[in-house]
Amino acid sequence: MSEPLLSLADVSLGYGEKPVLSGVSFAVARGEFVGIFGPNGSGKSTLLKGILGLLAPLEGEIEVAGYKNRELVRARRLIGYCPQQENPGGFPATALEVVLMGLYAKLGWFRRPGRDHRRQAREALEAVGMEEYAEHLFAELSGGQRQRVFLARALVADPAILLLDEPTAAVDIAAQASILVTIERLHRERGLTVLMVSHDINEIVHSCQKILLLHRGVVGYGPPAAVLTLSNLQKVYGPRVLVYQHHGHPHVLVGDFDA
Amino acid sequence: MLEFLSYSFARRGLLAAVAVGGTCSLLGVFVVLRGMSYLGTGIAHGSLAGVALGLLWGWNPTLTSFLAALTMAVLVEYLGRSSELRMDAAIGVVFSLALALAILLMGRIGATSTVMGYLFGNLLTVEERELLFIWGAALLVLVVIWLFFKEFAFTTFAPEAAEAAGIPTRPLSFLLTVLMSVTIVLALRAVGELLVVALMVLPAAVARQVARSLTGMVLFAVGLGVLASVLGFFLAFFLDAPSGATITLVLVGAFFLFLGGTPGRAR
């Protein structure tokens, strides 16, 4: 593997003194697409917060593009982040204004976005297929369209890494597929490093070069075929798991198969 | 009708109404969008306890009310973050303490016109020195909001994404609470402790129904807040009523007038 862009060495993360994740070690090379899976409460979102420096590690070392632990704040300009389930209620803003917010930290204090920034924001909306909605009120967009706007906001500052926390949650199946195609294209065309949390393994297994399977620690990390094994999945999701191969990719079913 | 403006006390009252109406509604935009109106009520109770303390000890009640409001805000922040309490429960605890203290201290002072003025508002008794404080504080709030407008906007819209992008969300949130304390104290003489939150919430609530952008919402809310305060001031004079009540009634009227308004007007 080439020089990793992001690495964790024996990291514990948690809230207060209680760790949610322990002994986490893995490394991601530039341009890789990593899918992060695990049941509710397995530490997926906590891991992303640790990488962003929003949560200091209780133990171990997190490194992003040469910045370690306390310095991670400085690595944030390299990262585009889509948090889980943002619900800004009736905030009056157009899609373009929401995307512009992604440039605010880069702009610095006391500066207002200008014409160039608006052009950048329009380009980001174009990249996610939302250019025609630039002047639409964000509150009036559908769930899938909102997710695309968030994706554009994460992209607008031209990041090297995309951290996506369930970007397809709470949208319909057609919108899920369409958002995923957009993420895959951005990954391919821009050489972005993508870490994407999802509950639906089958949805993104085709896009992932690596899978990180979490359950309060790392259960498996590597190529999908090596990680999505019956024994690994049963450790995480319990005994009612079935793995089958389809076109060379492992697919996972969870349910009561004897019924 | 405008003859009474030849009196200096009336001119002072009018100028105070403009500053208070504008500042409360400006800050009210963020109070409404962040769902902080309950905190506003709590801070107002805290400031009343401060007024009572100032009157009892013979200190400047404006200063003591600001210090009490700030203490209340810090205490809520501390309890909300360091204990298992939810933020609304933390506000409830501190709010009750502040109100109980205010009632206790007010009971010692008795129902003087000064105390009533702080409770219900009286623009016609604003003194020269108070007017200077009101305008100074109003300009301070305006400048701070103007300087940090985009950061306040992002942290209000999506706090987690803003923090992840490198915007210091917590200090900005605390700054907004301090501004709220300043605004409540400057508005006490105009609308009174009981209705100060109404002057923050109502213009912004109306503006949210008609605005298409945050700037549009701010401009609409400030315009409405100033207009309602001036109208309420004249009504208070002619009806010989407390200005807090008349300003609030004008705003409630505007709220029902615009109820159901669709976004698409104020850009």
The predicted structure's pLDDT at residue A94: 94
**Does residue A41 contact residue A19 with C-beta atoms inside 8 Å?**
no
pLDDT bin (cut points 50, 70, 90) of residue A98 is very high
- CB nearest to B165's CB, from A76, A88, A110: A76
* H helix runs in chain B, sequence order: 8-34, 37-57, 61-82, 87-109, 113-120, 128-147, 149-157, 159-164, 169-191, 196-210, 214-239, 243-258
pLDDT bin (cut points 50, 70, 90) of residue A4 is confident
Q: What angle do CA B177, B178, B181 make, to 5 degrees?
A: 90
Please identify which residue in the block is written with the tokens 């585009």: A80
Domain CATH number, residue B126: 1.10.3470.10
| Mean of pLDDT values over A7-36 | 94
**Residue B264 placed within a domain:** no
**Residue B191 placed within a domain:** yes
Residue A189: CB atoms within 10 Å? 9
* Whether the predicted pLDDT of A180 surpasses 50: yes
State whether residue A85 sits within 8 Å of chain B by CB.
no
* Token pair in block for residue A102: 């992604």
Domain tally for chain B?
Answer: 1
State whether residue A56 sits within 8 Å of chain B by CB.
no
| Mean of pLDDT values over A95-100 | 96
State whether residue A15 sits within 8 Å of chain B by CB.
no
* H helix runs in A110-216, sequence order: 115-127, 143-155, 173-190, 201-204
Choose among B148, B157, B173, B35: nearest CA to A83. Answer: B157
The predicted structure's pLDDT at residue B154: 96
**Residue B53 placed within a domain:** yes
| Mean of pLDDT values over A242-257 | 73
Sequential pLDDT tens for chain B (267 residues): 678 888 899 999 999 999 999 999 999 999 999 988 888 888 888 898 999 899 888 898 888 999 999 998 888 888 877 767 777 888 888 888 888 988 888 888 876 777 778 888 888 888 898 899 999 999 999 999 999 999 999 999 999 999 999 899 989 998 999 999 999 998 987 788 878 889 999 999 999 988 989 999 999 999 999 999 999 999 988 898 888 889 999 999 999 988 865 544 555
**Residue B113 placed within a domain:** yes
Residues 6+ apart with CB under 8 A from B2: none
- Does A84 or A133 have the greater pLDDT score? A133
Residue B264: CB atoms within 10 Å? 11
Of chain A, the end-to-end C-alpha distance in Å amounts to 45
Residues of A in contact with B160 (CB under 8 A): 54, 83, 86
Distance between CA atoms of residues B85 and B11, nearest Å: 47
Share of chain A above pLDDT 70, in %: 97
Distance between CA atoms of residues A196 and A35, nearest Å: 5
**Residue B265 placed within a domain:** no
- How many CB pairs lie under 8 A apart between chains A and B? 81
Distance between CA atoms of residues A24 and A61, nearest Å: 10
Chain B: closest CA distance from residue A79 (Å): 8
Dihedral, CA of residue B217, residue B222, residue B227 and residue B231, to nearest 10: 110
Interface test with A, best of B32, B145, B147, B150 (most A CBs within 10 A): B150
Distance between CA atoms of residues B64 and B70, nearest Å: 10
Please identify which residue in the block is written with the tokens 């259960």: A219
**Does residue A34 contact residue A195 with C-beta atoms inside 8 Å?**
yes
| Mean of pLDDT values over A81-87 | 83
Distance between CA atoms of residues B20 and B135, nearest Å: 8
State whether residue A94 sits within 8 Å of chain B by CB.
yes
**Does residue A109 contact residue A123 with C-beta atoms inside 8 Å?**
no
The predicted structure's pLDDT at residue A258: 60
Classify B59 in phi/psi space as left (phi over 0), alpha (psi -120 to 50) or beta: beta
The predicted structure's pLDDT at residue B147: 96
Residue length of chain A: 259
Contact call for A101 and B217, based on CB within 8 A: no
Tell me which H or E stretch contains A164. Answer: strand A161-165
Query: By residue range, what is the domain housing residue B156?
Result: 2-258
The predicted structure's pLDDT at residue B1: 63
Residues of A in contact with B164 (CB under 8 A): 52, 54, 76, 79, 81, 83
| Mean of pLDDT values over A188-194 | 93
| Mean of pLDDT values over A52-74 | 93
Least confident of A52-61, A246-255, B63-72, B94-103: A246-255
The predicted structure's pLDDT at residue A28: 97
Q: Give the residue numbers in B contacting A (CB under 8 Å), as ranges.
A: 33, 147-148, 150-151, 153-154, 156-158, 160-167, 208, 211-214, 216-217, 263
Residues 6+ apart with CB under 8 A from B73: B39, B43, B46, B174, B177, B178, B180, B181
* Whether the predicted pLDDT of A245 surpasses 80: no
Q: Which domains can be identified in chain A, with CATH numbers?
A: 4-227 (3.40.50.300)
Contact call for A81 and B161, based on CB within 8 A: yes
State whether residue A225 sits within 8 Å of chain B by CB.
no
Distance between CA atoms of residues A7 and B24, nearest Å: 48
Residues of A in contact with B150 (CB under 8 A): 101, 104, 107, 112-113
Compute CA B61 distance to the chain's CA centroid, rounded to the nearest angstrom.
Answer: 17
| Mean of pLDDT values over A248-254 | 75
Q: What is the pLDDT of residues A166-178, one digit of tens each?
A: 988 877 888 888 8
Tell me which H or E stretch contains A51. Answer: helix A44-52
Distance between CA atoms of residues B201 and B214, nearest Å: 15
- CB nearest to B208's CB, from A90, A112, A140: A90
Chain A: closest CA distance from residue B266 (Å): 10
**Residue B267 placed within a domain:** no
Using CA coordinates, name the residue in chain A closest to B167: A105
The predicted structure's pLDDT at residue B264: 47
Name residue A245's amino acid.
Q
The predicted structure's pLDDT at residue B60: 87
**Residue B266 placed within a domain:** no
Contact call for A92 and B211, based on CB within 8 A: yes
**Residue B142 placed within a domain:** yes
* Token pair in block for residue B248: 């609030």
